[in-house]
Structure 1
Amino acid sequence: MPPTDDQVLEHEQMLQSAMRHQRAGRFAQAEQLYRQVLASDPNQPVALHMLGILAHMAGQSELGVELIEAAVLRAPDYVSAHNNLGNMLRELGRLKEALAAYERALAHKPNYAEALGNIGLAQQGLGRIEDAVSSYRRALAINPELGDTHNNLGNILCELGKLDEAIECYRRALEIHPRYALIQYNLGAALKQQGELHLAMESLQHAVQLQPDFAAAHTSLALTLQRLGRLEDAVTSYRQALSLEPDNPDFLANLANALDLLGELEAALACYRKALALNPGSRETSGSIGSLLLAMGKLEEGLVMERQGFGVVKFDLERGVSIKNGAYSVDHP
């Protein structure tokens, strides 16, 4: 039996209240109200959608998918629900299903720029690089203010070696989101790849100022400082990264390399040994230990270790980090 007009009005008021709770981070209160609506009307699509988002946020993504699938079954033109369903499926690695969900959103709303941007992310994950570039550009033609999509297009252009265009994308993204540490980090990585080390350093410094717990940005800044010859500053940044991720073997190996260059051989050796203990299969770290032991005059162990590896190798394999669009928005169909 469908709800009466009075029930529909009451549900609308409850949903508005629930979404205010959700936006304010009062998730338990929001969940309680969504469940009250569904107890009265099990087919209410907004309540199903929003409860699905809460389930995903609580780590129950499969349940979240089921709930949002139920929502779009009852309201096929609920475009934000299709988009959020795609986001969940993509995070679960179900890229083809995610792509289909985004495309359903777009079918109902052809100018849905956020869904187009997310189609690009799914296509990129599926290795359809040219299609992804096209989708990102189409999204930005509809809405040039999508900072996340400028960032994601920048990432793919970096992978294609189009650094000037990528840097332009990141800078445009930062005009829209000037306090977004992740975009500053991506810009810094692109500038470093282009050889603009001082500009890269500035971007990465901004990134860690905006987000002091951003370990990857600290180590990227350290690598940049090291290439600029500022070894003591590099060591400080490596230590900042390690204070956040103390068991990261790559961070430890990079710190060891900088300490080696500073002549602090015993400290460097200790870092390399810890890195190897955390990642025993690393031939690079074994080789670096061997080279260092030989430099310290410990020939027997040094030769054994050097044969296991390749000598000194710095880990500097940065890739841009992508951002999903329109993720888990709290709105109506």
Structure 2
Amino acid sequence: MCIVIIRYSFLACKADVYYKNALALSQQQNLDQAIYMYEKALEYNPNEEFYYGEMLAVYSTLADRSRESFAMLQKRAEDAVRINPQHAYYYNILSSTYGKAFVSYGDTSAKDKAIDACKRALELKPLFGDPHNNLAAIFVYERKYKEAMDEISMALKIYPKHAEYHRILGELQVQQGLKMEGIASLEKAVLYDPSIVSVWASLSRLYFEAGSLSKAGEMMQQAILLNPNNPRYHGDLGSVYFKQGMLDKAACEFNAALKLTPNDAYFRQMLNACQ
């Protein structure tokens, strides 16, 4: 008995060394080596629930690299909920993984697994927004847009200042013809996270379509501040100025767009129209 305890203690200590090395490598963004160290830690102590959280975060980052990387994420997420069936976070990762298997890889058998994992995560932690977001992604894929908006709305009741949820809801609302509601949601998204450049650009185009040119210009200026090397943003701002009759400003923007894409016929045509 004493020998067994000593051996277990030795293996646990060895696993912990690998785990600490994995954490350090993760912080250095050396993710492949980090995964190797996490796997070695689990080799020596396969039932240590604590190891899975950080490891799953790294696998999630690498999952888009290949189908094999994604399969390892799914396997380890399944292992995590087996080791600790009371952990909502692990069920949430598992639901996201099954959801991606269904949406991105066409694995129809994963759909019900994803929904079940979401429900289990919410049973364990009712005030948890991510499972609602995972369900919304499935509903969007199935073109059940009302159900998707309902799920995101529930997530926002839990996290009312979550910029990404506001962005998703806004895009769904616009897609469904609820443009005013969509604009309001998108404005909340950049209120809570002003760095989401795509939302500034979307707001600019929506205001342009609505005829609110001054607002369209303000929104696109913000997009350009965040991403000055996007030719389309300069072209869109040029179109706003052109519509307002500010031809000199329009010409500057079309010039900026042409510097980034010299062979673009539309930008060249609009620049000539400003002369």
The correspondence of residues 55-204 of structure 1 with structure 2, limited to 5 A, is 55-79=25-49, 81-82=51-52, 84-92=54-62, 93=65, 94-110=69-85, 112-123=90-101, 126-128=104-106, 130-131=108-109, 133-144=111-122, 145=126, 146-204=128-186
Contact 2:99/2:138 (CA < 8 Å) preserved in 1? no
Q: Give, in whole Å, the separation in 2 of the partners of 1:280 and 1:136.
A: 47
Look up the equivalent residue of 2:241 and give its one-letter code.
L
Please report the RMSD computed on the Cα atoms of aligned residues, expressed in angstroms: 3.1
Q: Which has the higher contact order (CA 8 A, sep 6+)?
A: 1
SS of 1:102's partner is: helix
Normalized against structure 2, the TM-score is what? 0.79
Normalized against structure 1, the TM-score is what? 0.67
SS of 2:14's partner is: coil
Instruction: Name the counterpart of 1:11.
Output: none
Q: Give, in whole Å, the separation in 2 of the partners of 1:96 and 1:269.
A: 51
5+ residue gaps in structure 1?
9-37, 299-333
Distance change >3 Å, CA 223–CA 77, structure 1 → 2: farther
**CA apart distance, 1:254:** 2.5
Contact 1:83/1:101 (CA < 8 Å) preserved in 2? no
Q: Give, in whole Å, the separation in 2 of the partners of 1:87 and 1:131.
A: 24
Q: Which moved more, 1:174-183 or 1:157-166?
A: 157-166
Distance change >3 Å, CA 280–CA 76, structure 1 → 2: farther
Deviations 1:8-43 (A, max 9, x none): 8xxxxxxxxxxxxxxxxxxxxxxxxxxxxx9xx751
Instruction: Name the counterpart of 1:273.
Output: 255
Instruction: Name the counterpart of 2:14.
Output: 43
Deviations 1:229-288 (A, max 9, x none): 21110110111121122112332233223223323334334323323433457xxxx242
The correspondence of residues 201-280 of structure 1 with structure 2, limited to 5 A, is 201-279=183-261
Deviations 1:32-83 (A, max 9, x none): xxxxxx9xx75143x6435424422321111221221122212222345345
Larger fraction in helix: 2
Contact 1:77/1:105 (CA < 8 Å) preserved in 2? no
Distance change >3 Å, CA 181–CA 138, structure 1 → 2: same
5+ residue gaps in structure 2?
none
Deviations 1:120-174 (A, max 9, x none): 3541574236455434321221132331121233234334432211111111111
Contact 2:35/2:58 (CA < 8 Å) preserved in 1? yes
SS of 1:143's partner is: helix
Identity percentage of aligned residues = 22
Contact 2:103/2:138 (CA < 8 Å) preserved in 1? no
Look up the equivalent residue of 2:73 and give its one-letter code.
A
Q: Give, in whole Å, the separation in 1 of the partners of 2:225 and 2:199.
A: 13
Contact 1:102/1:118 (CA < 8 Å) preserved in 2? no
Instruction: Name the counterpart of 2:270.
Output: 292
**CA apart distance, 1:225:** 1.9
Q: Which moved more, 1:186-195 or 1:106-115?
A: 106-115
Aligned residues: 259
Contact 2:101/2:107 (CA < 8 Å) preserved in 1? yes
Deviations 1:191-237 (A, max 9, x none): 11111111111111111111122222222222222222211101101
Look up the equivalent residue of 1:226 and give its one-letter code.
F
Q: Give, in whole Å, the separation in 2 of the partners of 1:241 and 1:2.
A: 63
Contact 1:48/1:70 (CA < 8 Å) preserved in 2? yes
